Amino acid sequence: MDIPRPHAARRRRTRQLALAGGAALFVLGTTLGVSRLKPAAPSVARSAVVLDTVNSLAVPEGWKDVARTLAPHTLCLHYKDFAIKRAWHMMGFICEGTPSGQGQVDTRWLLDTLKASPYDFNVIIELWPPEQASLEDTIRLEQQWAEKSVPYLRQYISQ
């Protein structure tokens, strides 16, 4: 049989109100603190993009059309070389990454086109090796590609 405790309900309600008040103060303090933070990255006066040489292949546009259109807005280039080949059964295509300079990206054309960018943009090499029999083999292949890709791009990009 339950024993009535007339003060228990009042204590429980007081504790709930204290917890709710504490939570509200925490949220208010956190909101005020965050609102006073300065941006971590420098602001950009105009719209800017990160251009990736392969991502546009998902839509019916060629990578050169996309590069030409976005060049004046490019803040960063993700250089990813690729090759598109017919599938062995001749029904469709396979798009795979390649070491820089061994695929379909016309590096000289791309970098000349990106001179339209007002930014001193950086270039990040993205390698996209096909999956190998094991993770170690895939990592080894990516390392080999990196060892080929960096010297290749150094021909076009100064330190």
Whether 113 maps to a domain, the answer reads: yes
pLDDT at 42: 65
Predicted model pTM: 0.65
CB atoms within 10 A of CB 5: 10
Q: Is the CA virtual torsion 114, 117, 120, 124 positive or negative?
A: negative
63 shares its domain with 121: yes
Q: Compute the average pLDDT of residues 81-103.
A: 91
109 shares its domain with 31: no
User: Number of structural domains, the chain?
Assistant: 2
pLDDT at 44: 59
Query: How distant, in Å, are the alpha carbons of 67, 111, 139 from that of 86?
Result: 24, 28, 26
125 pLDDT higher than 80: yes
* Burial class of residue 125, CB neighbours in 10 A (0-12, 13-18, 19+): middle
97 shares its domain with 138: yes
* Least confident stretch, 46-55, 84-93, 95-104: 46-55
pLDDT at 1: 61
Report the alpha-carbon distance of residue 32 to residue 68 in Å, rounded.
Answer: 44
At 6-64, the pLDDT tens digits run 677 778 888 888 888 888 888 888 888 888 887 776 665 667 888 888 887 777 778 88
pLDDT at 159: 60
13 shares its domain with 64: no
Whether 104 maps to a domain, the answer reads: yes
Q: Supply the range of the domain harboring residue 18.
A: 7-37
64 shares its domain with 21: no
66 shares its domain with 88: yes
Whether 68 maps to a domain, the answer reads: yes
Whether 70 maps to a domain, the answer reads: yes
pLDDT at 37: 82
CATH number at residue 65: 3.20.20.150
Q: Which carries the bigger pLDDT value, residue 127 or residue 48? A: 127
75 shares its domain with 114: yes
